[in-house]
Structure 1
Amino acid sequence: MLKKELQIISEFTPKINTKNLGLFFGSSLSHRGSYRRVSRVRGQLHVFSSIAMRRRLLDPSFSVLLLFFSSIFILSSISNRSVNAEVITLNSEIFNDKMQEKDTAWFVKFCVPWCKHCKNLGTLWEDLGKEMEGEDEIEIGEVDCGTDKPVCSKVDIHSYPTFKLFYNGEEVAKYQGTRDVESLKRFALEETVKAATKAQLEDDAEL
């Protein structure tokens, strides 16, 4: 058993042979030591295994490979997060730019964290975002009026929750119907078609 353990150690550390290991542990391969010596050898086996693993981690080629796979994992996580972001959080830094996107409708929820009516919505807005995922010309957004008061003041938000649809930078409709996914989706689609048709007629008139 002792010979086998020393042989395993020598495989992890090629520069150290079994004879030297025998001298190192203060015992001969031809004599079996006490249980205490055997336990000590087993302990040294774990030490040498750890050293070998550390040397492998410090190897430049191994480090580069580890960094490569770590980068892929991080990028994949970021990508998945972006793909799954059906509802986009809007703030004062990006709100105006997003609303001005050409031929794009934004259906936006305005809320504050302390409003009980906002809390009662539950996952309604997230569910709507998932339902509208295939509609490339309609984006679902939300604004926290507690942290972005200037945005909410600019678009005349005085009660919560408020749902408004914007198209090409202009407010085109305010939703006041039943708060369920199907009704909200129908409203967004119908109002977007109206706004897009109006914008197209205006563009044609300018030609």
Structure 2
Amino acid sequence: MAAIRKENARPPFLMAIYVLLFAAQLLVCGAAKRNVVILTEDNWASMLEGEWMVEFYAPWCPACRNLQSTWEEFADWGEDLEIQVGKVDVTEEAGLSGRFGVTSLPTIYHVLDGEFRKYTGSRTKDDFISFVDDKKWENVEPVESWKAPNSFLMSCVSWLFKISMAVRTIHTSITEDYGIPVWGSYCLFAAVTIVAGLLIGMVLVFITDCLCPAAPPKGFYEPVQMEMPPTKVRRDDRPPTEDQEEEDEEEEEMEEAEEGDAEEDNDANIRKRRVKATAE
């Protein structure tokens, strides 16, 4: 048995060679990986300077996994092509996924001094090298400025993606960690959404009223003029004058004369009636 074990034992120098080869392979793989820059929310702005080729991928994507080795081989040419090669994991960086408008995987962008172009060619190392070295990117229309990843609009989209991922994380935590059913999580989010909408609406209305107060209706502050019937001022309310006193005396005399004439007429009528009555 000892002889058999001695024959099957490998020489120590062969084990040393295996270890050295394994270490060399790890170093090569590590060097290849170091050539690919891992981009995140913290360092993505570095691609706005210089020339870049950036891949957006997901670990669960089969096409992304097939492209992985090719992309690392292409990264080895980065120094010769005077470009930097990067990649973004969309499962970890949802904000960058929204910022770049990634709708399919893998998605590759060519970036030159803040000008973005989407790569749609073949996904081979030679095609990548030719695209950069032969400047084929000049035949590709750049992304419009208002849709560029560094624009204000896409920054807002990036925040929306971050919020959606946060909501998804909270939903997962509620249903898995706390055991709340899915419908209960949906009801909770609906209530929070309604309350938040009401509060935001009240704040916006208050700000709008302060900055742009509504104009009052026409004639709201104008005094209302009502037509009043003309009032007659009695002469008794006026302070008497000499002419008015004379007129008053004349009027009184005329009234007395009229009263006297009326009494005389009444007496005459009474006499006539008596005479007529005695004659009958």
Greater relative contact order (Cα < 8 A, sep 6+)? 1
Per residue, is there more helix in 1 or in 2? 2
Higher CA-based Rg = 2
Normalised by the length of structure 1, the TM-score is 0.48
TM-score, normalised by the number of residues in structure 2: 0.36
